[in-house]
Structure 1
Amino acid sequence: MNPDDPRAQRTRARLRAAVLDLATERDLGTITVSEVAKRAAVNRATVYLHYPDVDALAADAMEDAVTEVARAAALCPLDAARDRVPEPLARLFAHVEANAKLYECMLGTQGSPRFSARLRERLTGELETRFAHGSRPGGFDDVPAGVHAAYLSGALIGVIAHWVTTAGPTPPTEAALAFWRLFRP
């Protein structure tokens, strides 16, 4: 199968839309390949031509979300005041709120390990690259940049996961400010 073929691209788009649609209805761990195939109007064999399982499909479907989170983290000014949320972080939490059901599905207890790993990997990479170019908060020179980036990635993902799965109806500006205050003590 040629992934550049327009038919393959259309099929993958339908599969991604189907799994995300199903994920808004129930836990990812309960979604079967047969249900995705039915929702996408393809047969099961077609699903397996493109993805080994539902988790891989869901992780691919959330790639835009991974990009959004990584981009926001990379754009966040690290020297902003502690009591004022930087705009990229505010936009990130607004994005998560707008897609809360999907983030809850992907980061919750029945979520996608591939999505979590991909998000953490991408976010860590973005931050590590940023740190290598001199944009690193002061006071951490005794910690390797990769460890620092991994720590911040885990913290942000943990806050997002907590917010969408257990924190209740906290407005995104409050959630973003809480994270920022943890980041900038």
Structure 2
Amino acid sequence: MNKSESKYFNTALRMDEALLALLEEKDLDYITVKEICHQAGVNRSTFYLHYETIADLVNETLEMVNQRFLSYFPQQEEVVLANMSSREREELVLVTREYLLPYLRFIRDNKKVYRAAFRNPGSMQAHTRYGELKQRILGPILERFEIPAAHHPYYMAYYVEGIIAIVKEWLRQDCTDEVEMIADIIESCVGYGDGRRPCGK
């Protein structure tokens, strides 16, 4: 990356961070280009050099957050799915510490992002991230448990919304409780105390 590209990248990063900071305070509909520029320490012409609209900045910010999120996980999705398909059904766990701990560490290290996402679920496209989780991880696991396909949306809503509720409460506590404690709580809530089998199975 040359000096010009590095400067361009650093300016874009400042605007990403500025947007996240503003989203903690207000809804996206009420954020202006002027406020973003002031928060980032750039002028309006610099903003329009990078983006046509605030929506473009939102898309870039979401991509930046997503890359950060993925970097916390030690294995790729293909490995997760391969491990899942090779395990006996009795060994399957809907929520494992292997993936729960990195997820919770990311939330703790990016509290601002998650507060903004919960404050602005539509504009931050939180449903998209959880949509991937449902389709790629929870869906195949529920199939292995032989849960009827028509029931999947309800099981997924139960588990995902439950985890989100715990995370929201943890954020209200400013993530002061240890990651391991929150993981223990989630694990105890998603199954019969051992994190295994969807409820009702």
Q: How many correspondences in the alignment?
A: 171
Are residue 37 (structure 1) and residue 44 (structure 2) matched?
Answer: no
Q: Provide closer, same or farther for how the CA distance between residues 28 and 159 of structure 1 changes in structure 2, counting only shifts above 3 A.
A: same
Aligned equivalent of 1:102 = 113
What residue ranges of structure 1 are gaps of 5+ in the alignment?
A: 1-5
SS in 2 for 1:15: helix
What residue ranges of structure 2 are gaps of 5+ in the alignment?
A: 85-90, 193-201
Provide Cα deviations, 1:60-107, integer angstroms capped at 9, x if missing partner.
Answer: 4432355468998x649884789xx62321222122112223212322
What TM-score does the superposition give when structure 2 sets the normalisation length? 0.60
Give the superposition deviation at 1:179: 0.8
Matches within 5 A, 1:64-103: 64=67, 67=70, 75=80, 79=91, 86-103=97-114
Provide Cα deviations, 1:103-133, integer angstroms capped at 9, x if missing partner.
Answer: 12322xx33423222222222222256x1xx
What's the C-alpha RMSD, in Å, of the aligned pairs?
A: 4.2
Aligned equivalent of 2:184 = 177
Distance 1:16 1:71 in 2: 25
Q: Provide closer, same or farther for how the CA distance between residues 96 and 168 of structure 1 changes in structure 2, counting only shifts above 3 A.
A: closer
Give 1:18's aligned amino acid: A
Aligned equivalent of 1:121 = 131
Matches within 5 A, 1:124-143: 124-128=134-138, 131=140, 135-136=141-142, 141-143=147-149
Give the superposition deviation at 1:141: 1.8
Distance 1:53 1:170 in 2: 36
Alignment equivalent of 1:27, drawn from 19, 25, 28:
25
Alignment equivalent of 2:167, drawn from 135, 138, 160:
160
Give the superposition deviation at 1:167: 7.5
Please, which moves more after superposition, 174-183 or 116-125?
A: 116-125
Contact 2:16/2:57 (<8 A) preserved:
no
Aligned equivalent of 1:15 = 15
